[in-house]
Structure 1
Amino acid sequence: MNKSVTVLLSTIWVHCFFSSVALASPSSDMVDALNAQVLRVQVKHNNGSQGLGSAVVIAKSQVVTNCHVVKDAHDVSVMVNGVPHVATGVKADWHHDLCILTVAKLDAPIAKMGASKNLQYETPVFTIGYPDKTTEPVNTFGVVKGIFPMDDSVVIRATSPFRLGASGGGVFDDTGTLVGIITLKSRGNQAHYYYMPVEWVQALMDKPAQVLGAKTEKPFWAAMDKERPYFMQVVQPCVSQDWKSLLTVSLEWVSHEPNTAESWFYLAMAEYETKAYEKATEHFNKALSLNEGHRQATEYLSKINEKTASARVAINQLALLD
């Protein structure tokens, strides 16, 4: 990955809370088989620099990667058993940061695609990619922690970590089905990790291929703050503990996406932090009504119960003193 992409990715902030990781446990035979479906990508850019990434085999002579991996490239190849195979064309969805490369005579097993929008919170997942300069695939494990509806599918957040160079690799569920494409992470030691859905990949497969180096566009996650999806707009006020700003953004989010659990969750969080516990309780419950597996909403409701119970005890003690 080139330096400009590294800087761009580093501008995306972490969310304001972190959850424990429950690990998926696929068999070693399954992991070995899936590793062969993910390939290393080598890129030569127009400015003379070189970059690295990952890609998933999705059809005969076709692999999918992130567009930011192949941006401004004049030569792209994927490695199969140490042998480079040159990409001759690209199907690009720059807005969603997904590019399908045409690689003639590619001999590698094809990944089975699932349905990202059918994922549930806490679903075990694991990633396969080629971070840094490694020549062997690296596996990481975690669970789904965020599902954000967008453009007829969902953007996925999970706790399975990855490093630069893994962009374009795959995220699989514990049945070995491809459910997402590694794309970006927030900065910091407690980074959050985001994946693009397979539905966007499937839609892109029907588009015509272009030559490499065709016109590029910025992905949605690189837009100005107010033009980003709401699930990205809430991050900065959350990190900076600017609860009034979080309340403003969340109210707007709820008005535009009233059937999204996350919009109600962030609204309730802002209300909780401003001690509007009655409203927070109502809206955490609303989030749970839309997604009963939203563990963080349940955790906040427990905190509210503890606070209100403590307040009742204090009031009773004062009454006894009187």
Structure 2
Amino acid sequence: MKYLLPLLALLPTLAVPAPAWAALDQAAYVSLAASVLRVEAPRQRGGFSLGSAVALESDKVVTNCHVTRDATAIHILRGGLRYPARWQASDIGRDLCLLDVPGLGAQPVALGRAAELTIGQPVTALGYTGGMGIQNSTGAVIQLHRHDGSRVIQSSNFFNSGASGGGLFDDDGRLVGILTFRLRGGESHYFAAPVEWVAQMLADAQRGSFRQVMPLDSQQLPYWQTHPASQPRFLQAAVLVRNDRWPELEALARDWLRAEPDDTEPRQLLATALARQGRADEAGAVLERARVTPIPSPAPSASTTR
């Protein structure tokens, strides 16, 4: 996180109507809460890392690699008992680690699809925020960022340290994302890895990608913790927005739009850059061509933490 902390700011987002929060009913919440578990991982350099995990099978859970990357052992807490993870499959770049936990006996969640989400759709986050008891947060999808073959979900659901690795669920109780990192300073700075990455990882693990639990490669970082120049465009854009570097944002957005002409996000960013340079007519034309909702002015700068 050493690069993100001083650099990220709020991304411009689509203006969406305030949704009527469709919180899960009590029965659905109780059922899902039993499938979102606490992670404890003693670290190689001392101390513990605390996080959350979601049950995909009775003996397999998924969490974030930034929770377990320095772990000499990993334990999953369920029903007052601590179960050791014996094997781990990791995708550090996507910040996802799959754990094999013999005897866990957890109730698996149903998998949805991040690709089927829509802007403004209600979602519920479940995780051990603060490392204590499980907490839920209702919110909505703010943006869907194309990255690595799927969509990173940006939502307004509050979560904090300890909830990393928890679940983001649609209003049918299906897992759509894994809570991963957040940006300080507003109600829409929460990001989740798409469940499509999880499903792909689970399929790969069935083909023998599990390894004994041990500290992971300390030189490799998740995409959101890498040097700014190596981050995906939607994170690079945040730096330019925060620093009011509108000509550079315009250049980035135009390059992005040439590379991905069917993606609405660079078009939104281009319109923002043009408007902030006093070129409202050009900004309006960009939006009109895409028939997208005008973008609100960028919010104040924000810093980042997980």
Question: Structure 1-normalised TM-score?
Answer: 0.84
Larger Rg: 1
Q: How do 1:277-296 and structure 2 match up within 5 A?
A: 277-288=280-291
Is the 1:21–1:159 contact (alpha carbons within 8 Å) kept by the matching residues of 2? no
- Paired residue secondary structure (2:191): strand
Is the 1:55–1:64 contact (alpha carbons within 8 Å) kept by the matching residues of 2? yes
Residues 266-315 of structure 1: CA deviation (Å, up to 9, x unaligned): 00110111121222112223443xxxxx5xx33559xxxxxxxxxxxxxx
Q: Distance in 2 between matches of 1:147 and 1:286?
A: 20
Q: Distance in 1 between matches of 2:46 and 2:62?
A: 24
Q: CA deviation at 1:241?
A: 1.7
Q: Distance in 2 between matches of 1:11 and 1:21?
A: 30
**1:164 equivalenced with 2:161 (yes/no):** yes
- Paired residue secondary structure (1:120): coil
1:182 to 175, 179, 183: 179
Residues 116-171 of structure 1: CA deviation (Å, up to 9, x unaligned): 1111111100100001131x210001110111112221111001110111000000
Deviates more, 1:249-258 or 1:114-123: 249-258
Q: Distance in 1 between matches of 2:215 and 2:67?
A: 14
- RMSD over aligned CA atoms reads 2.0
Q: Distance in 2 between matches of 1:270 and 1:48?
A: 46
**1:225 equivalenced with 2:250 (yes/no):** no
Question: Structure 2-normalised TM-score?
Answer: 0.88
- Paired residue secondary structure (2:262): coil
1:144 to 141, 153, 166: 141
Q: CA deviation at 1:12?
A: 5.5
Q: How do 1:301-312 and structure 2 match up within 5 A?
A: none
Is the 1:172–1:178 contact (alpha carbons within 8 Å) kept by the matching residues of 2? yes
2:225 maps to a residue whose letter is A
Is the 1:148–1:156 contact (alpha carbons within 8 Å) kept by the matching residues of 2? yes
Partner of 1:37: 35
Partner of 1:15: 10
1:298 to 270, 294, 297: 294
Q: Give percent identity, aligned residues only.
A: 31
Structure-2 change in CA distance of 1:140 and 1:190 (3 Å): closer
Q: CA deviation at 1:26?
A: 1.9
Structure-2 change in CA distance of 1:190 and 1:160 (3 Å): closer
- Paired residue secondary structure (1:95): helix
**Unpaired stretches in structure 1, ≥5 consecutive residues:** 289-293, 302-322
Is the 1:262–1:287 contact (alpha carbons within 8 Å) kept by the matching residues of 2? no
2:156 maps to a residue whose letter is T
Q: How do 1:73-222 and structure 2 match up within 5 A?
A: 73-134=71-132, 136-188=133-185, 192-205=189-202, 206-207=204-205, 208-213=209-214, 215-216=216-217, 217-222=220-225
Q: Distance in 2 between matches of 1:197 and 1:247?
A: 28
Is the 1:87–1:101 contact (alpha carbons within 8 Å) kept by the matching residues of 2? yes
Residues 41-92 of structure 1: CA deviation (Å, up to 9, x unaligned): 0010111121100000001310000000001111110100111000011010
Is the 1:171–1:181 contact (alpha carbons within 8 Å) kept by the matching residues of 2? yes
Q: Distance in 2 between matches of 1:245 and 1:120?
A: 29
1:62 maps to a residue whose letter is K
Is the 1:16–1:238 contact (alpha carbons within 8 Å) kept by the matching residues of 2? yes
**1:261 equivalenced with 2:264 (yes/no):** yes
Is the 1:169–1:181 contact (alpha carbons within 8 Å) kept by the matching residues of 2? yes
Is the 2:71–2:215 contact (alpha carbons within 8 Å) kept by the matching residues of 1? no
Is the 2:129–2:135 contact (alpha carbons within 8 Å) kept by the matching residues of 1? yes
Higher relative contact order (CA 8 A, sep 6+): 2
**1:25 equivalenced with 2:23 (yes/no):** yes
Q: Distance in 1 between matches of 2:74 and 2:6?
A: 26
Runs (4 or more) in structure 1 with deviation over 4 Å come to 16-21
Q: Distance in 2 between matches of 1:200 and 1:8?
A: 24
1:15 maps to a residue whose letter is L
Q: CA deviation at 1:95?
A: 0.7
The answer to which structure has the higher helix fraction is: 1
Partner of 1:251: 254
Q: Distance in 2 between matches of 1:286 and 1:98?
A: 37
Is the 2:129–2:159 contact (alpha carbons within 8 Å) kept by the matching residues of 1? yes
Q: CA deviation at 1:9?
A: 5.9
